[in-house]
Amino acid sequence: MERSLAIIKPDAVERGIVGRIISRIEKEKLKISAMKMVHLTKGEAGRFYYVHKDKIFFNDLIEYMSSGPIVVMVLAGEGIINKWRQIMGATDPAKAEEGTIRRIYGTDIQRNVVHGSDSSESVKFEVNFFFSELEVENGA
């Protein structure tokens, strides 16, 4: 079964919209196979986002991602990587399609509420980063 790693980012947890985002996931009939809340250190955030280490926004990004707790989830289902990215919307909320999570709740290109894996290679790294096999529901 295809998986994707989803994150409800610190801005969303701080604003108290975790429930609304999980509700949306349920309304879309996506399957949540694992879920927990963690607070990353800056170093951990840097390891998670290592692909962006040379970008100019890297330091701000890891500062933001370690600024408070996040909710991490494994989503599972056919085509879930693209499906979840479509429901999230484009990286920049201002450019995201009407009705997407980032369009509805996003503040700016950095504080864009949610994360989703972008490929099966990144899923492997990202799921292993946060979860052991034991923590992911059987069959997902």
The answer to whether residues 113 and 12 touch, using CB atoms and an 8 Å cutoff, is yes
Binding of ligand IDP by 86 (CB under 6 A) = no
Binding of ligand IDP by 110 (CB under 6 A) = yes
Binding of ligand IDP by 122 (CB under 6 A) = no
* Catalytic residue IDs: 115
* Residue with smaller CB distance to Mg ion, 33 or 117: 117
Length, in residues, of the chain: 140
Tell me the DSSP string of 13-61: HHHT-HHHHHHHHHHTTPEEEEEEEE---HHHHHHHTGGGTTSTTHHHH
* Residue with smaller CB distance to ligand IDP, 28 or 118: 118
Binding-site ranges for ligand IDP (CB under 6 A): 52, 57, 61, 91, 109-110, 112, 115, 118
